[in-house]
Amino acid sequence: MKLPRILFGAASSGSGKTLLTCGILQALRERGLRVSSFKCGPDYIDPMFHTQVLGAHSRNLDTFFTGENLTRYLLAENSREADIAVMEGVMGYYDGIGGTTSGASSYDLARVTQTPVVLIVNGRGMSLSLAALVKGFVDFRPNSGIRGVIFNQVSPNIYEELKSIVEKECGVKVLGYVPNLKDYVIESRHLGLVTPEEVEGLQEKLAGLAKILERSLDFDELIAMAKQAPELEEEEPTLPRLEESVRIGVARDAAFCFYYEDNLELLRKMGAELVEFSPLRDSALPESLDGLIFGGGYPELFARRLEENETLRRQIREALEAGIPCVAECGGFLYLQKELEDMKTFSHEMVGFLPGKGYHTGRLSRFGYVELTARCETVFGPAGTALKGHEFHYFDSTDCGNAFLAKKPVRENTWDCVHGSENLAAGFPHFYYYSNPEAAFHFLERGVAYAHRRDHS
């Protein structure tokens, strides 16, 4: 597959990757290009901002979750109609698993997909040192993939001189600069950026940002660089498929908004019909559901409204007690417990199907990749079923479950997590289904079995 593509990396977090990526996506769209976009790593929120720009779901690409061949396939599969694919990196360009390896880093994704890289460098407080920083990144690995540089927060008065020095000393093309953008800052909260719906005048901001970038960046050179990417070698995986469809209810609103889009698309490819509902707004579940998914998000910010929707909470609890298959992750897991504290530590009643109380710890409780192995039968399959996932939460629970053993890659410390049964997997980890498609298929098969029991009862 011939796919022009570019990856925006950075020296560190906080270099402006997300804001600039969104502005570049907007500018490319305004040039009439069909654009696909991706976030390197397991982040949920950055793709939501990409989606606001493109009007189509952005995706994640993560070599820890999917290895090399499957990562290339997902890039190709989600770019079939695109003129150009844009990838936003994660953290510092070489920062990977365990903090001491480059596995699953932006560099690793660029290597696996053979994508040209533009390094975004925050130049605030630097001048000639920018050249030293860029040269260090370019030379750190002989195949760094870095072909261009963009200077962020650099004065136009010194830009031309810095451009000449960096191109001479580092052997890469400088594609432009971005001045200080005080009017375009996006605030953050305890899980990172706020969601796009909460940013006042986002579309106007993005349109204004795109105009600024059109003046200060060399888009013709950027597009030409993307076209230098070699053909993308891909191999489509063989996936199981149901003989009959199942209806899976997906909780989706401001409280439950963290989903890997490829997880949902994988379920559809296997034969599932996905039906969205809102625990904040809806008074009843959709009819004839054969399974439930509760993603992560911000239930703590909406705890009172979730508590007040008592009719739906009761209906969910009764469905779970009747054995409907269910996957609940992080915020979704907290919602199924007895109680949940809000950000002011006031407790609110939740669904009450699971024991335990969710509470705010005031710090990041767990963060990073996990390898998960089932200790007993769960909705994902028998004991021994393995999946990969990610955790990132400031909340904890008085009862996290013990159906899975979680292990940190590289560092290898372990702990118990997740409530599980033949119809349930509910805990803090966010599962990535493509890490074990058979496990996701088992969940759907449990939905078929539930549908047969329901229809014959």
71: left (phi over 0), alpha (psi -120 to 50) or beta: alpha
CA atoms of 194 and 46, how far apart (whole Å)? 10
Q: Strand ranges (DSSP E) for 93-139?
A: 117-122
User: Do 114 and 23 share a structural domain?
Assistant: yes
The HSE-up count of residue 422 (CA atoms within 13 Å, CB side) is 7
- Together in a domain, 75 and 194: yes
Q: Lowest mean pLDDT of 51-65, 254-268, 373-387, name the range.
A: 51-65
What pLDDT shows up at residue 194?
59
Helix (H, G, I), strand (E, B) or coil at 327: strand
User: Picking from 199-208, 372-381, 411-420, which range would have the lowest pLDDT averaged per residue?
Assistant: 199-208
Same domain, 264 and 336: yes
Domain contains 233:
no
Tokens in use for 58? 């952005």
* Rounded distance between C-alpha atoms, residue 147 and residue 135, angstroms: 12
- Average pLDDT value for the chain: 93
* The total number of structural domains that make up the chain: 2
Query: Quick check: helix, strand or coil at residue 5?
Result: strand
Mean pLDDT of 333-355: 97
241 part of a folded domain? no
On whether both 159 and 264 belong to a single domain, the answer is no
* pLDDT number for residue 257: 94
Residues 83-119 have pLDDT tens digits of: 999 999 999 999 999 889 999 999 999 999 999 999 9
CA distances from 285 to 87, 297, 298, 403 (A): 37, 19, 20, 27
Q: CATH code at 12?
A: 3.40.50.300
The single residue of 40, 257, 326, 330 carrying the catalytic annotation is 330
Residue with tokens 């690995």: 141
pLDDT, residue 186, reads 53
Closest listed residue to residue 355, CA positions, set 300, 314, 398: 398
Lowest average pLDDT, out of 150-159, 225-234, 371-380, goes to 150-159
Q: Which of 7-16, 175-184, 202-211, 319-328 has the lowest mean pLDDT?
A: 175-184
| Residue among 357, 318, 320 nearest 335 (CA) | 357
Residue 192 has pLDDT above 60, yes or no: no
Q: Residue 196: which of 20, 48, 57 has the closest Cα?
A: 48
Considering 169, 197, 227, which residue would you say is the last residue of a domain? 227
Write the CB contacts of 175 (distance below 8 Å, at least 6 apart in sequence).
118, 148, 149, 150, 217, 218, 221, 222, 225
Q: Are residues 364 and 270 in the same domain?
A: yes
**Domain co-membership, 204 together with 262:** no
Is residue 61 a part of any domain in this protein?
yes
Among 183-192, 235-244, 263-272, the range scoring the smallest mean pLDDT is: 183-192
Q: Which helix (H) or strand (E) holds 54?
A: helix 45-54
| Position 240 in a domain | no
Q: Domain check: are 210 and 255 in the same one? A: no
Q: What is the pTM of this model?
A: 0.94
Backbone phi, psi, residue 55, to 5°: 75, 15
Residue 79: band (very low, low, confident or very high) from pLDDT cuts 50, 70, 90: very high
Q: Is residue 405 part of a domain?
A: yes
Between residues 124 and 339, the one the model is more confident about: 339
Question: Could you tell me if 17 and 166 lie in one domain?
Answer: yes
* Greatest CA separation for the chain: 78
pLDDT of the residue at 7: 98
Q: Same structural domain for residues 223 and 296?
A: no
Comparing C-alpha atoms, which of 283, 278, 317 is closest to residue 299? 278
- Indicate whether 239 belongs to any domain: no
pLDDT at 182: 66
3-class secondary-structure state, position 426:
strand
- Per the structure, the complete domain to which residue 162 belongs is given by 5-227
User: In the beta sheet, which residues pair with residue 424?
Assistant: 326, 421
C-alpha to C-alpha distance for 76 and 379, rounded to whole angstroms = 30
pLDDT band, residue 241 (cuts 50/70/90): very high
Q: Using 50, 70 and 90 to split pLDDT, how confident is the model at 365?
A: confident
- Flag whether 305 is in a domain: yes
Tell me how far apart the alpha carbons of residues 267 and 246 are, in angstroms, rounded to a whole number: 10
- More confidently predicted of 372 and 193: 372
CATH code (residue 435): 3.40.50.880
Phi, psi for residue 404 in degrees, rounded to 5: -125, 150
Residue ending a domain, among 227, 255, 273, is: 227
* Same-domain check for residues 275 and 181: no
In this structure, the answer to whether residues 49 and 148 fall within a common structural domain is: yes
**What's the alpha-carbon Rg for the chain, to the nearest Å?**
23
Q: How confident is the model over 276-302, as pLDDT tens digits?
A: 999 999 999 999 999 999 999 999 999
326 labelled catalytic: no
Q: Give the burial class of 381: count Cβ atoms within 10 A of its Cβ; 0-12 exposed, 13-18 middle, 19 or more buried.
A: buried
Identify which has the larger pLDDT, 47 or 409: 409
**Residue 233 above 60 pLDDT?**
yes
Determine what percent of the chain is predicted with pLDDT higher than 90: 81
- Domain assignment present for residue 291? The answer is yes
For residues 178 and 218, what is the distance between their CA atoms, to the nearest angstrom? Answer: 11
413/284 same-domain check: yes
